[in-house]
Structure 1
Amino acid sequence: MRQGLLFLLVVVCLVAARAEAFPWMIRHGYASCATCHHDPSGGALLTPYGRAQSELLLAARYGEQKEGEEVRPTTAFLLGAVTLPDWLNLGLSFRGGGLVTRAGDDTDVRPLQMVSDLRANIAVGPVRAGGSVGFVARGARFAALTNFEENNVVSREHWLGLANEDQTLLLRAGRMTLPFGLRTVEHTLWARQLTRTDHNEQQQHGVALAYNIEGLRTEVMAILGNFQLHPDLYRERGYSGYVEWAPFTRAAFGVSSLLTHARYDVVTKRPSFLRQAHGVFARVAPVKPLVFLLEADVLLDRPEGGPLASGYTGLLQVDYELKQGFHLLATAEVLQRPGVHVTALGGWLSFDYFILPQLEVRLDAILSHPGQSAPEPNVLSLLGQLRLSL
């Protein structure tokens, strides 16, 4: 039985994934996410240019780099085995691994299959369209198209848009990741969970306008609700947005704001629920190998007939590139949930190895105190992931 589970875990990992956002690309002077991603705020499907940068700037080098070296055709879709028309871009993304969690005397071991998605982008004249469809064995219920306890078909994003001639403006309507704060691969960070702005399942339907020029990027979204969530009384309406200014080649600073209202909150089940998050974020590379990522957010909740409850969350992440393709990361995070007067603290130590442009392995050790109540034990988690992007 154990051998069978181990075999299953290995198989899941070998088809498991990356097509995410790396805010530490600021070290290479990339303040704008729209350069490498079809989503103007980063993440999801890479553009052909973004695929090329995965080889030139992300993947480990196994020989002497030649000046003027060209990108290999294997960076294209399915390793270049299929030639796509200029108006179509496709990507296969898989992510999986294993998680060991210990809290007090309890230990939990489980395999993970997190992402198995086909992603697409279409560009015909000013018209843009993007979407994804995939499968998850467990979780991601807010992104599900089917309604089973397990083994659901999901669509994390699907939208239609219009771009202007110089590609500085993009107007989109559909299901999209909320524009807010740092868009990071660590979707379980408290800053992503408590603001409900992760890219794993918390996308919303709405209308968004993005503007990108050199040194400035912004996006604002009118949130109309998650139409894949039922019934309607749990759907949030409101807005989310950010503005980021990059005064220097390797430094950018931004502010974010989010406000939503639901007849009943899907998490707490409280009625007429008003939820807010407002904060600042920054990406700074004082020297090329070293990048600091910072986010600090105020959290505000108010149910019908109740007082306004406040809290906060924040993170500081340091990414050090030992050499191209090898990263050491340290992350500290803090959280005080609205209305809960216990502070949660967490720390991550991570090693990230970009084996190939399409293949990445990552190991995380995460120690945290949940902060729900003082007597709770610390939680230690060991997470191993293998990601593949084709």
Structure 2
Amino acid sequence: MRIRPRAWLFPLLAAATTLTVVLVAVPEDGGSRGSRTVAAPAPAPAPAGKAEPDARDVVLAVHGGAGTALVRDETSPEKEKAYRDGLKKALRAGKKALDRGATSVEAVEAAVNVLEDDPLFNAGKGAVFTADAGHELDASIMRGSDLKAGAVAGVKHVRNPITAARLVMEKSKHVMLAGQGADDFAVDQGLKPVTQDHYWTQRRWDQLMDAKGKKPSSDRDEAKGTVGAVAIDAKADMAAATSTGGMTNKMAGRVGDSPVIGAGTYAKNGTVAASATGDGEIFIRGAATATISNLMEFGGKDVAQASYEVLVKRLPKLGGSGGVIALDAKGVFDAPHSSEGMLHGYLTKDGKLVTKIFKEESPPNQ
């Protein structure tokens, strides 16, 4: 089967979405292995201006994009719960994979799949619109044990681009496939295609109209919404994955850093697994995630020092901002960002889940 571009219609009315708020936290898998969730950050975020790790003994971390952050006084309990639940669900999916002995690659794919299916984030369902009112999605995944990697760019009919990226890594001799060829490859590998309206949400349509100056937006676009995950498995193998819908009102054909190995995604055993989010062109020019690894391997810096050097000192000089989740081979985790905020969370080896969505939980490292 071949998927060819075809006309499609935007819904005339947005579907009303009802959020069910559950106030009682239920441990995953019936409470197996004593897993618990924690809303408040622990330990406290690294102080602004210092290169200090956010946490230790981390086995999995995810992010939901860097941007202007959520403001506690302006965020309803329902909205807070929705964002935290989205991050927790992704972490639990990755944890479930690790608990059954899966590889770090399987864990990051599982975590990112959840975020791609969550319309709150800019990846998969809920992806932003291009300037011509379409959707073009990018993703990449990398395995630290042998530096194998796979990526797709500009796909229009793939429900979960990170899964297509993994297939490129494992089922082809290439690293990146783009456009129609990437869509066709995904179908050839057994992925069921979706039409463009699968990605559509009223929120993203309103943001496009706002970007084009056609209507005022009531949404502050608190986070850009690019998603990613990093993990280390029982064999100490590392992996990283990143997925995005790109930038609102971007030119058709624009590709950012998310599918570019060494820019938006990088993993190398012994140094770091990193996934980035922010101004993609700047992350490409600064080779952001590969530079973090190189500073650790050849510069003698630890994960916090290296990621701080890149995200806070180097990239802003190129004219952009953003953040990164970075995990080293010993489970030391850091999430520095020069943007006002970054939605992210992590899982420690003893089963503790931590999510950070408000500015005070994750202040910029400036």
Query: Is TM-score (shorter-chain normalized) higher than 0.5?
Result: no
More helix, by proportion: 2
More strand, by proportion: 1
TM-score, with length taken from structure 2:
0.31
TM-score, with length taken from structure 1:
0.30
Bigger RCO of structures 1 and 2 (CA < 8 A, at least 6 apart): 2
